[in-house]
Structures are given as structure tokens and as C-alpha cells.
Amino acid sequence: MSRLHNQLAIVTGASRGIGAAIAEALAQEGARVVRVARTVTQRAGGVASEVICDLTEPDQVATLATSVTTDFGVPDLVVSNAGGFLLKRLEDTTAEDLESQLAINLRASFLVAKAFLPAMRRAGRGTFISIGSVADHRGFPENVAYAASKYGLRGLHETLLEEFRGSGVRLTLVSPGPTDTSMWDPFDPDRRQGFIPRAGMLRPSDVADAVLFVASRPAHVHIDWLRLGPTGKAATDKHG
Ligand SMILES: NC(=O)c1ccc[n+]([C@@H]2O[C@H](COP(=O)([O-])OP(=O)(O)OC[C@H]3O[C@@H](n4cnc5c(N)ncnc54)[C@H](OP(=O)(O)O)[C@@H]3O)[C@@H](O)[C@H]2O)c1
């Protein structure tokens, strides 16, 4: 029997990168996966469904939750993965930069939590996984806006952990180090001094494996925080 047979999983930011790898890994283990993003396209062969949603828009997140619960039921698993990245020093970071990082990396997760966790609490079960970053617990140069948003996400996670303790709902923060996705395209880490080259980064499938591990633990096991990174010499030194 596959490990997530018939479980309903929502994965945000599943149109590419880490979210796409997570959605695929969950589907391969038998989950019914709803892939959410602004540009997600339908796949042939369908264990997965797709919902177009801009997670920075509260009304769209509320509509997402209503349509998912009406069409499929209360999710067994939510992976709040959608995010954005920025590398800028303080002097170059505008207030708008900060606001847009907060909107997708923090506020969107807050909206997704508000949209799904109350029903999961009523059901007395489920797993809610947030994708953080090494930048949710370590400061790096040029990470002003990104780190502020990811540290905020960890604060949200740790608070929800306490609010949902004993409810039957498990919450996990998965914090990966640098991972080779298109998120890095504008920043060209291979040519940027002090950054891990893309070939030395985690692969999206590594993060998906971590999520699958968390999601497939027996109901009495709770992993509150899982951190992973590449093993390269410089792996503990730089960004993601
Ligand atoms: N790559 C890394 O080195 C790394 C390291 C640590 C943590 N992370 C975290 O891992 C997560 C995924 O990153 P990634 O590397 O896979 O990035 P990515 O390849 O750029 O993918 C980002 C995903 O988020 C979605 N998204 C962005 N804005 C959205 C919005 N307003 N509404 C709905 N969906 C939105 C994108 O879909 P659409 O554009 O189609 O909407 C896309 O599916 C992020 O939270 C990131 O911070 C990444």
C-alpha cells in the first residue's frame, strides 16, 4: 500500500521548483494532490487537480479553501510552500520590496493557515507543513527582506504549534538550505562571489523527500522542525 493512499494534499507554489517536486512525490505515494499557483497548468493522467490562485489576495485564498473543501473535503495535508526570493542590501531594499516579500512569504502562509486549519482542528487530524529556509533562523548579507519574511514565518509556525497542541493537527516547519530551482535565475550564484554553485545545492526532490518523510510518520509522531542543507564545504555559509 502506498504511504499516503487517498489522502487529500494541498500544495501551494506547485507550478515549478520545490512545490512541483513535493506535489509529484505526494502523488506517487497515492495522495490526491491539489496543486495551487498563479500559473499552474493541468497535467494529463490526473491524480492531481489544479487551482489558479494568487495567494497574496485574501479573497482568492478564501475562495480556494471553499472550493477545495466543497469539492474534495477537509485536507489531510497542507504544504504551504509558495514563496519569492530577493537578494538586496539594506541600501537597495525599498519598502515595496519588503512588503512584497512579506506578502508572499509570510502573509500568504497566514492566509492559507486561516483558510484550512480551523476545519482541520474540527476534524481533529491533519498535517500542516510550512516551507521556511535556512534564512528563517540565520542572517545573511543581502537577505534583509527575505529573512524578515522567513523569520516571521517561523514565528507564525511556532505560535500555531502551541495553539494547535493537543488538537490532533500536526504542524511542521521544513527549513531547506539553497536548492537549485529557477528562484536563483535572476541572481546567478555560479558567478556570484561567496555563493554555493547550483551544482552543489539541494535538488527539489531532496526537499520533497523531507516533506514526504514528515507527512508519512504515524499519527503519534510529531516533527515540529526539520532543517536540511547541502553537504558542500561552503554549505553552512550561504543563503537560501
Ligand atoms: N530555492 C531555494 O534555494 C530555497 C531554499 C530555501 C527555501 N526555499 C523556499 O521554498 C519555496 C519554494 O521555492 P522555489 O525555489 O521552488 O521557488 P520557485 O521555483 O520560484 O517557485 C515558487 C512557487 O511559488 C509560486 N508563487 C509565487 N508567488 C505566488 C503567488 N502570489 N500566488 C501563488 N503562488 C505563487 C510560484 O508559482 P506561480 O509563479 O505560478 O504563481 C511557484 O510555483 C519558497 O517558499 C522558498 O522561499 C527555497
86-118 pLDDT, tens digit each: 999 999 999 999 999 999 999 999 999 999 999
Among 34, 38, 207, residue to substitute to test ligand 1 (most atoms within 8 Å of Cβ) = 38
- Hey, what's the cell of 79? 504544504
The average pLDDT across 235-240 equals 55
pLDDT tens by residue, 189-233: 999 988 999 999 999 999 999 999 999 999 999 999 999 999 975
**How confident is the model at residue 240, as a pLDDT?**
62
Question: Rounded distance, CA 157 to CA 132, Å?
Answer: 9
Gap from CA of 76 to ligand 1 centroid (Å): 22
- For residue 235, the model assigns a pLDDT of 46
pLDDT tier at 1, thresholds 50, 70, 90: confident
Q: From CA 34, how far away is CA 53, in angstroms rounded?
A: 12
Banded model confidence at residue 51, pLDDT cuts 50, 70, 90: very high
In whole angstroms, give the CA distance from residue 80 to residue 48: 17
Indicate the average pLDDT of the chain.
94
DSSP code of 203? P
130 lines ligand 1 (CB under 6 A): no
**Ligand 1 contact, 230 CB (< 6 A):** no
229 lines ligand 1 (CB under 6 A): no
**What does the pLDDT average to over 116-144?**
98
> How confident is the model over 156-176, as pLDDT tens digits?
999 999 999 999 999 999 999
DSSP state of 81: -
Distance 84 CA to ligand 1 centre (A): 5
The predicted model gives 6-21 an average pLDDT of 98
Any atom of ligand 1 within 6 Å of the Cβ of 38: yes
Strand order in the sheet with 77-80: 48-52, 32-37, 8-12, 77-80, 127-131, 170-176, 225-228
**Cα 85 to averaged position of ligand 1 atoms, centre (Å):** 8
In 3D, which of 69, 94, 76, 99 has the Cα closest to residue 7?
76
Q: Which domains does the chain have, with CATH numbers?
A: 8-235 (3.40.50.720)
Catalytic residues: 146
Name the 3-class secondary structure at 151. helix
Q: Residue 42: pLDDT band by 50, 70, 90 thresholds?
A: confident
d(CA 187, CA 209): 26
**DSSP E strand stretches across 106-154:** 127-131
Answer whether 229's CB lies under 8 Å from 202's CB: yes
The amino acid at 197: P
